[in-house]
A and B are shown apart, each in its own frame.
Chain A
Amino acid sequence: MLMTILNLITIKTPAQLSSLSIQTYILGAILGVVLLLIAAIIATMIDYIGGSSDEDSKKRRFWFWVLFSLSFIGFFLYNMFIVSKTIAPNLESKFMITNIIGSIIATVVYLILGIILSKIFSKGKLGSWFPSKKNN
């Protein structure tokens, strides 16, 4: 059992950890983009609903923020429960900081690109994510 765990550990030196940190940040950014694409697909699939209710826009916003949360929590938990297992115990505490920064990168990329997309496609369904205040 101990041997199996030891075999999983591939990050044993500070140099390897540094390299992993960069990979984690890049992966965080990629995850942010991927989740944003998923949010865009979901937003497009939600039909327009007529009438006085704002139901369709609310649904799109709901899914946008669900995926926003997922970008942080999901990436954080992934790093904590899967990536951390590959790191030597003495370096794990340092990786925790990397994990937090990577997760923040995922959410920030997701959020900034989401705002940009929403403004670019303000007349489309993505506009529901961040509706212009002057339109409310």
Chain B
Amino acid sequence: MAAEKYFIIGIGGTGMRCIEAFTHLCAIGLFDNKEIDILSIDTDTNNGNKGRSEQLIDRYIRIKGGADGKPTANSFFTAKLNIYKFAPEYSGNRLTYELISGLNSGSADTKKENKALSDLFFDDDVQKFKLDHGYRAQTHLGSHLMYHCIVEAAKNVSKGGRRKEDLELASFLDKIYQAGENARVFILGSIFGGTGASAIPIIPKALKDAVRIKDKNAEIHPKAKFACSLLSEYFNFDVTGIAAQKKEEKIVADCNNFSRNSQAALMFYQADATVKATYKLMYHIGWPKKADFSQGTTSAKTITGGGEQKNPCHITELFCAFAVYDFFNRVDGLDQHDIIFKSANFQNNSFLFEFKDFLGADNAKELMNKMGSFLAFSHIIINAEKGGFGQNGAANLVKKFKEFNIPDYINLDVNDAKDIDEFVKAFSFNYDTKGEIIPGWLYQIKQSVEGDFLFTTDALSTNKKQLKEFNFGQLFREEAYQFAKDGKIMSGKPYEEFRNTIQKDLTVKPSPDKQKVERLNERFLAHTYNTLTKLYKIVNL
């Protein structure tokens, strides 16, 4: 049997944050031995979330050695990722539906007919609003435009067009086509907003049609497997100034409609024959409360998109990333028609998540070790090696290795070390110039849960003194998985134990056979991964 090929498509602001969560799971090493092609689609090219997740993936790819990188195993950063960026062209004479559709071109009769036809489907305001901030929850318009922009991109490329975004989409399509029946394609996005909700129903068909347009003899294999997240509403934002904004911009996404949008979308997915025939698995993910995405913003206006839209990460996006894990690793159950329900322990108005809630009991320890080790690695780089205080933490750690006769990594490129630093800061936390904490992805996830989250309370503390002094040997509540415990002579110092182990224990050296690590920074990462795995004793090295 040929190896499976893995593809992810992230659409819209929420899709981008799901990709961000997925990339962090790749960084902790959850997708061993896999090469994954990621397509990011957003109508809003300057969107802050899009920029953030693409920057993260770009950094990940650099850490893996760029195009020449290879998948590895049992370490950090094991999956090989490839990114393709596509965005419809919504500017100039393609800024509104009215302009794109050429409603005002042709003879007077044609114009009249075009207008009458458009009016059947879209309100006048919908036809005229600017599309550069996305579809603004107008999914009927969004599905129509998204389908056509993908098909148009394929047409452009087949005619020799050189638009960068179209070429990247074409490359992604080629990969799916070449994967044949081994393609597993996961589509990430929300069903309550604009771009993602618009795209999820039409993407498989749009991709199939686009492949055929590019090459009439080609087609996406009928047995290629598609899955998607159906992420229902989980956040809202301040809409007090929305009336005035609507006067100016005509169409503004209103979070008061998010629940209704979700319900309508779910009813559609349940009834639509094309959707049911296309998707093998749909992961419906919900959240009982709504996060306030207006917090911390100073703007009185609803942020419809653009660089300002940098919403914090949320646990539902992490669930979506785990849905990808399930789909990519699933060996059976791809043809069943059952609805399977899963929840977690809910007490005192908050969830008490355990590792098994994410990957099941069988793989809980693997997740625990990998996420815990990466968080500990963050503490080492940011706090102990001063990466959070203006220094290059990874480079400092390399120098420490060398001081004690482990000069193996001394030629690690300073930019590689910097990328590792920046990645772990994006994963966990950083300090600003005043020493205040800047919460990274995991901290933002924890904040969205409103209670303890997987690790001890202090492990994800937002108190800067507590965080700086945190004993990362005590990440886990279970005593069996702690090291550097307080109260023993010469103990309570996790960095000491980390350094002692890395310096004296030869079994933690990277294994080229088991871990498949060839590049210098991969060996360095594998060495630290092995050391932390040995110290936590959750799984055998």
Task: Name A residues whose Cβ lies closer than 8 Å to a Cβ of B.
Answer: 44, 47-48, 50-52, 54, 57, 122-124, 127-128, 131-132, 134-135
Q: Are A124 and B504 within 8 A (Cβ)?
A: yes
Residue B512 interfacial (CB < 8 Å): no
Q: Is the CB of B407 within 8 A of A135?
A: yes
Q: Are B404 and A52 in contact (CB under 8 A)?
A: no
Shortest Cβ distance from A55 into chain B, in angstroms?
11
A128: which B residues are within 8 A, CB to CB? Answer: 403
CA of A134 to CA of B406 in the docked complex: distance in angstroms?
11
Interface string of B402-415 (1 = CB under 8 A from A): 11111100000000
Find chain A residues with CB under 8 A from B496 CB: 47-48
Chain A residues with Cβ under 8 A from B504's Cβ? 123-124
What total count of A-B pairs have CB within 8 Å?
54
Residues of B within 8 A of A123 (CB): 404-406, 503-504
- Could you list 4 further interchain pairs (A-B, Cβ under 8 angstroms) beyond the known A48-B496, A123-B504? A50-B380, A51-B385, A127-B405, A134-B407
Interface string of B207-232 (1 = CB under 8 A from A): 00000000000000000000000000
Say yes or no: A50 contacts B402, CB within 8 Å: no
Best-surrounded residue of A51, A122, A128, A132 (most CB of chain B within 10 A): A51
In contact, B405 and A50 (Cβ under 8 angstroms)? no
- What is the bound-complex CA distance between A102 and B192, given in angstroms? 87
Q: Are B403 and A51 in contact (CB under 8 A)?
A: no
* Chain A neighbourhood of B276, CB < 8 A: none
Partner of B399, one of A52, A124, A127: A52
Q: Is the interface of A mostly helix, strand, loop or mixed?
A: loop
Q: Report whether B396 and A52 are in contact in the complex, using a CB–CB cutoff of 8 Å.
A: yes
Complex Cα distance A44/B490, Å?
9
A47-B496, A124-B500, A135-B402 are contacts. A52–B386 as well, Cβ < 8 Å?
yes
A120 to chain B, nearest CB (A): 12
Task: Please name all residues of chain B whose beta carbon is closer than 8 Å to the beta carbon of A52 when the two chains form the complex.
Answer: 386, 391-392, 396, 399
B396→A50 contact, CB < 8 A = yes
**CB within 8 Å for A48 and B495 given contacts A123-B504, A124-B500:** yes
B residues engaging A (CB < 8 A)? Answer: 380, 383-386, 389, 391-393, 396-397, 399-400, 402-407, 490, 493, 495-496, 499-500, 503-504
- Docked Cα-Cα span, A44 to B500, in Å, equals 11
**What is the chain B residue whose CB lies nearest that of A44?**
B490
Chain B residue nearest to A135 in the complex (CB)? B402
Judging by beta carbons under 8 Å apart, are A51 and B396 in contact?
yes
Expressed in whole angstroms, the Cα–Cα distance for A57 and B380 within the complex equals: 18
- Closest approach, in angstroms, between the C-beta of B316 and any C-beta of chain A? 36
B404 and A124 within 8 A (CB): yes
User: What residues of A have a CB within 8 angstroms of the CB of B383 in the complex?
Assistant: 50
Chain A residue with the shortest CB-CB distance to B397: A50
Task: Please state if A122 and B405 are interface contacts (CB–CB under 8 Å).
Answer: yes
Write the chain A residue with the least CB distance to B499: A48
Question: Do A122 and B386 form a contact, CB below 8 Å, given A47-B496, A48-B495, A51-B396?
Answer: no
- Whether A51 lies near B405 (C-beta < 8 A) is no
- The answer for the CA separation of A47 and B495 in the assembled complex, in Å, is 9
B385 touches A135 (CB 8 A): no
B503: A residues at CB distance < 8 A:
123-124
Q: From residue A48, how far is it (CB to closest CB) to chain B in Å?
A: 5
A133 to chain B, nearest CB (A): 12
Complex CA gap A44/B380 in Å reads 20
User: Are A51 and B493 in contact, CB atoms less than 8 angstroms apart?
Assistant: no
The answer to whether A50 and B406 have CB atoms under 8 Å apart is: no
Distance in angstroms from B92 CB to nearest chain A CB is 50
Distance, CA A134 to CA B405, complexed state (A): 9
- Report the minimum CB–CB distance from B507 to chain A (whole Å): 14
Least Cβ–Cβ distance between B369 and chain A, in angstroms: 23
